Structure 1
């Protein structure tokens, strides 16, 4: 079994240390990708998770990487090796999965884009741990046990840190970040659908700034 290198762990840690909030971004109109991400960056966000929940995700990653080189730009909702290769080719600097398979964990060990694997259970965590992963996405956070679950994970796995995502909002983000084993929190409240539909980029910037200030 191949083991995760220090390079990959350093990359993931750099992403999680860059910003405590990670917006979950779903691009429905390709023309929105750059202005939406720029609005988030203008509000202080330094990590952009562009998901593959729509057909425009891969192209958006490519566009945003070129337009906003100072931000960490990665891919979310990656569920297969084929998608992993696609987003790597598009320039994704990191990859986040909603869950794990042994194949994805093994691919992430040698990939150019560092992997933050998604887990919901201790068994999944242990699978990733065996490959050398120590940073995980906890998803869906609220459904899978929320803060009490993360507190419980800290006992047997004191060297593991998390980025919980799923059901977290601006109010509860602070509570998650108060946990010693939480480095960052992901959420879609930073990219409200109505603001995007109205192309109200100023509102997106305000939400990002206020969310960071409230931590």
Structure 2
């Protein structure tokens, strides 16, 4: 499955922040994706935490070709398949299970599973994965934990998510084993609910400059 990890890294390009988005109203999906892409964050993760999530993925992937739309909070093979059918170009899970690994092996859609411990990272490595989500990042030890992992497991790269913000993103991005971070601060609920797409675009533009 190593090539699938590389496929996801290729999709990411030089983007260092992945917006992690919760959409309660599918009508917001298209303008939100457009605002993020205009701000320089074309690869976005729409979480399956609302009833509108799958429709939001479908709309954004169909109507915003400049965006690379993925699905997050995937907990089961069925959700993986539903998200892929809706147009998700990558799949993110808070953890890793054998059932999800099997589904990922049979799918062309790249998989970014979460890992919190050294043992979980090693299990994912044994499965051929080289790019993992570190979740929940701040609660699980933060940047210092990932720095400690970089010596014994140097060939795994991470996308820390969970408690990551504009204030601490650079502490993660400065690490050699961090490819990007995931965060919701670029699309706050208040801005989305108000349809303040200029605000979202500005936040995205600021985030796209983080290194």
Q: State the TM bucket, normalised to the shorter chain.
A: over 0.9
- Residue ranges of structure 2 left out of the alignment (5+ in a row): none
The 1-side partners of 2:180 and 2:84 are apart by: 23
Q: Does 1:101 align with 2:97?
A: yes
Contact 2:37–2:66 under 8 Å retained in 1: no
Match for residue 111 of structure 2?
Answer: 115
Residue 202 of structure 1 aligns to a residue in which SS? helix
The 1-side partners of 2:174 and 2:150 are apart by: 13
- Deviation of 1:68 after TM superposition, in Å, equals 1.4
Residue 62 of structure 1 aligns to a residue in which SS? helix
- Residue ranges of structure 1 left out of the alignment (5+ in a row): none
- Deviation of 1:5 after TM superposition, in Å, equals 4.9
TM-score when normalising by structure 1: 0.94
Residue 136 of structure 1 aligns to a residue in which SS? strand
- Deviation of 1:18 after TM superposition, in Å, equals 4.4
Stretch of structure 1 that moved more, 55-64 or 135-144: 55-64
- Deviation of 1:16 after TM superposition, in Å, equals 3.2
Contact 2:112–2:133 under 8 Å retained in 1: yes
TM-score when normalising by structure 2: 0.96
Aligned pairs, how many? 211
**Where does structure 1 differ by over 6 angstroms across 4 or more consecutive aligned residues?**
none
Q: Does 1:76 align with 2:76?
A: no
Superimposed CA distance per residue, residues 116-145 of structure 1 (whole angstroms, 9 cap, x where no aligned partner): 111111111122111100100000000000
Over aligned residues, Cα RMSD in angstroms? 1.2
Match for residue 42 of structure 2?
Answer: 46
